[in-house]
Chain A
Amino acid sequence: MPERELTFAQAVREALAEEMRRDSRVCIIGEDVAEAGTPFKVLSGLVEEFGAKRVVDTPISEAGFTGVAVGAAMTGLRPVVDIMFGDFITLTMDQMVNQAAKAHYMSGGHWKVPMVMRTTLGATRRSAAQHSQSLHAWFSHVPGLKVVLPSTPFDAKGLLKTAIRDENPVIFFEDKMMYKLKGPVPEDDYTIPLGVADVKRSGDDITLVATSSMVQVALGAAILLEREGISAEVVDPRTTWPLDEKTLIDSAKKTSRVIVLDEGYGRYGVTAELAAVIAEGAFYDLDAPVKRMGAMHVPIPFSPPLEDATVPTEQTVFEAARAMCKPS
């Protein structure tokens, strides 16, 4: 029997539906999450199955309903809040950084905050500077938070189920450009642990460490590289925290060359951290400095040719990797 395929959006929805059936404490809170099923239609059908008490439409109050979710999580529910665009996490910062991330520690382990924030990242949707950012580095910086970046429908389902079962605040970033991406997704109840990287493709000459949709870019680049006789390994950390340092370092030692790809800003960003981890752990096995590729350090522009220039593509990754492996 051929494997069942789902889109990334369907995989997210299936994870939510399964968890909501399994655990009546799980509820969804956010703007236009009920009948509208969000602007991306990721949640369509859930309010029909679970009712308006568990799929809760809110006013446009990101700080307010995120704060409510923190308190609800502390007192016995397992809320999944929906922040429509990742750019709007700015409005939730106090609730996530000063409240959710710290309640367990500050209380000496008494209170727990088992909540998930689902939000988006990713440019090239022609949405301009306030709807296109990839700000996951901000949360990755804060002890007490966990950050998940699924790159395939399979990972989306398994990681989201784990995130919902986790006892800590977890932020789950979905690249909005991947919602229609299809891939095999088992019907059964499987979970993927947080903090375990996945080698998406194995290779010998260069490691492409990539997150979220950059994994798809890296896999495309790997095919181009193969035609040039270069064997690329693609490693997806899947979570920026907890971070599976060992898998990254082992791959770097094996191939001796690394490019780190992430759609956030490189400066003080995820690529900076991953490159540092690899440089520290595999320094003596590297044949070249670790290279970083991410969003250009500019607000994301609207004009299509400008926007396209801001993010790594298969072609730019291919060229960078080829230059590293075959210096001219």
Chain B
Amino acid sequence: MTTATSKPQAGPKPAGAAGTEKEKWLHAYRQMVSIRLFEEQVNEVYTRALMPGLAHLYSGEEAIAVGICQALRVDDYITSTHRGHGHCLAKGASPDRMFAELLGKEAGYCRGKGGSMHIADPATGNLGANAIVGGSVGIATGAAFTAKTLGTGRVAVCFFGEGALGQGSLYEVMNLAQLWQLPVMYVCENNQYNEYTHYQETTAGTILGRAAAFGIEAASVDGQDVRAVNEVATRLIERARSGGGPAFLQCDTYRYSGHHVGDINREYYRSKQEEHLWKTDRDPILVLTKWLTERGYADAASLDQIASEVRAIMESAVKFAIAAPYPNVDEVEKHVYA
């Protein structure tokens, strides 16, 4: 088959694998801090009523997006969710155009027409965030179908929250992916809550048991440990890339904020004590900080330096987005059809 529209854009090297171990994990650190500080700015901008719509923050879950995207090539595909800023950044999007999109500005990744829940970026293989829970499982599996049919060597990663385990279409495509041995990895970000309901109230059986039913290679990992996530993701992704078939990865994690920024009183569904425990004992940035300093790869000063560089980038991204113009109203009828 010809590959008219799908030339690989980069070599087979994982985006984050460049350089030494130290460089790799310092890069991971920077990316996790980028997501954390991006979301801090979102919270700020949202609270100042500058951002229309809804904002679902990824804070607390950074190690998953970063650990997995570090195991991907630039031309590999991802699909994302309503809680998608972290995936988008980790895959390589730039914060200024992301913020512009969040504010509905023309300079945004989707010219302001997608917003927070629909950012897509072909240049980094991001097929798009999706505001339908489980809505992108078909798209990711289809991208893997293309990769296999055209022999491009690409892999597709499908991020979804454990809430999507309730959607039948997930199991339809898992069945297809295993039958056809497609290079796709399903990543279940189990942050414990489907909106305001604990997942154990909505999920019968076990999460991995679902993958086992289809004979899909499956693993679970501490989603707060970026190195652990990266290690297992690398194995499963390379297995898929070399024709070994699909994989399912359960990442246990926690979202620090409400379901969305306005979800402030949360005691009726989870305790402050539980939140505190995750934030102090299992924070993904602290976990990596500890490892980096123990190894002598970094010290407090060098990590602070990274954080302040990132903060400056995020602040200027927000400034850029606030100053950027809205699309012209005649844009409204553009791109309905290609």
Residues of A within 8 A of B (CB): 24-25, 27, 53, 58-59, 61, 63-77, 94-95, 98-99, 103-114, 143-144, 146, 167-168
Interface residues as binary, B175-186 with A (CB distance below 8 Å gives 1, 0 otherwise): 110010000000
| B1-35 CB contacts (< 8 Å) to partner A | 1-6
Q: Which residues of A contact B143 (CB under 8 A)?
A: 71-72, 74-75
| B27-84 CB contacts (< 8 Å) to partner A | 77, 79
Selected from B127, B141, B175, the residue in CB contact (under 8 A) with A111 is B127
Q: In the bound complex, do residue B338 and residue A108 qualify as a contact, i.e. CB atoms below 8 Å apart?
A: no
Q: In the bound complex, do residue A73 and residue B142 qualify as a contact, i.e. CB atoms below 8 Å apart?
A: yes
Q: In the bound complex, do residue B109 and residue A108 qualify as a contact, i.e. CB atoms below 8 Å apart?
A: yes
Q: How far is it, in angstroms, between the C-alpha of A25 and the C-alpha of B146 when the chains are bound?
A: 9
Q: Which residues of A contact B259 (CB under 8 A)?
A: none
Say whether B239 faces chain A, with CB atoms less than 8 Å apart. Answer: no
Q: List 12 A-B contacts (CB under 8 A).
A: A53-B149, A61-B172, A63-B169, A67-B142, A67-B172, A68-B173, A70-B138, A72-B149, A76-B150, A103-B128, A106-B113, A107-B118
Q: How far is it, in angstroms, between the C-alpha of A69 and the C-alpha of B113 when the chains are bound?
A: 24
Known: A75-B6, A109-B111, A112-B338. A64 touches B145 (CB 8 A): no
Q: In the bound complex, do residue B337 and residue A65 qualify as a contact, i.e. CB atoms below 8 Å apart?
A: no
Q: In the bound complex, do residue A104 and residue B337 qualify as a contact, i.e. CB atoms below 8 Å apart?
A: yes
Q: In the bound complex, do residue B149 and residue A27 qualify as a contact, i.e. CB atoms below 8 Å apart?
A: yes
Q: How far is it, in angstroms, between the C-alpha of A103 and the C-alpha of B179 when the chains are bound?
A: 27
Q: In the bound complex, do residue B135 and residue A99 qualify as a contact, i.e. CB atoms below 8 Å apart?
A: yes
Q: Which residues of A contact B173 (CB under 8 A)?
A: 61, 64, 67-68
Closest B residue to A98 by CB, please name it: B132
Q: In the bound complex, do residue A75 and residue B77 qualify as a contact, i.e. CB atoms below 8 Å apart?
A: yes
Q: Which residues of B contact A27 (CB under 8 A)?
A: 149
Selected from A25, A95, A146, the residue in CB contact (under 8 A) with B2 is A25
Q: Which residues of B contact A75 (CB under 8 A)?
A: 5-6, 77, 127, 142-143, 146-147
Selected from B3, B135, B338, the residue in CB contact (under 8 A) with A76 is B3
Nearest CB of A to B20, in Å: 34
Q: In the bound complex, do residue A63 and residue B168 qualify as a contact, i.e. CB atoms below 8 Å apart?
A: yes
Q: How far is it, in angstroms, between the C-alpha of A107 and the C-alpha of B109 when the chains are bound?
A: 7
Q: How far is it, in angstroms, between the C-alpha of A207 and the C-alpha of B127 when the chains are bound?
A: 47
Q: Which residues of B contact A69 (CB under 8 A)?
A: 138, 142
Nearest CB of A to B165, in Å: 15
Q: Which residues of A contact B262 (CB under 8 A)?
A: none
Q: Which residues of A contact B6 (CB under 8 A)?
A: 75-76
Selected from B136, B137, B145, B176, the residue in CB contact (under 8 A) with A59 is B176
Q: In the bound complex, do residue B335 and residue A70 qualify as a contact, i.e. CB atoms below 8 Å apart?
A: no
Q: Which residues of B contact A99 (CB under 8 A)?
A: 130, 132, 135-136, 138-139
Q: In the bound complex, do residue B141 and residue A67 qualify as a contact, i.e. CB atoms below 8 Å apart?
A: yes
Q: Which residues of B contact A146 (CB under 8 A)?
A: 337
Q: Which residues of A contact B147 (CB under 8 A)?
A: 75
Q: In the bound complex, do residue A105 and residue B77 qualify as a contact, i.e. CB atoms below 8 Å apart?
A: no
Say whether B103 faces chain A, with CB atoms less than 8 Å apart. Answer: no
Say whether B272 faces chain A, with CB atoms less than 8 Å apart. Answer: no
Nearest CB of B to A67, in Å: 1
Selected from B120, B169, B338, the residue in CB contact (under 8 A) with A64 is B169
Q: In the bound complex, do residue A108 and residue B142 qualify as a contact, i.e. CB atoms below 8 Å apart?
A: no
Say whether B108 faces chain A, with CB atoms less than 8 Å apart. Answer: yes
Closest A residue to B332 by CB, please name it: A105
Nearest CB of A to B115, in Å: 8
Q: In the bound complex, do residue A110 and residue B122 qualify as a contact, i.e. CB atoms below 8 Å apart?
A: yes
Q: In the bound complex, do residue B175 and residue A106 qualify as a contact, i.e. CB atoms below 8 Å apart?
A: no
Other A-B pairs beyond A59-B176, A106-B118, A108-B108, 4, CB < 8 Å: A24-B2, A53-B149, A67-B173, A103-B139
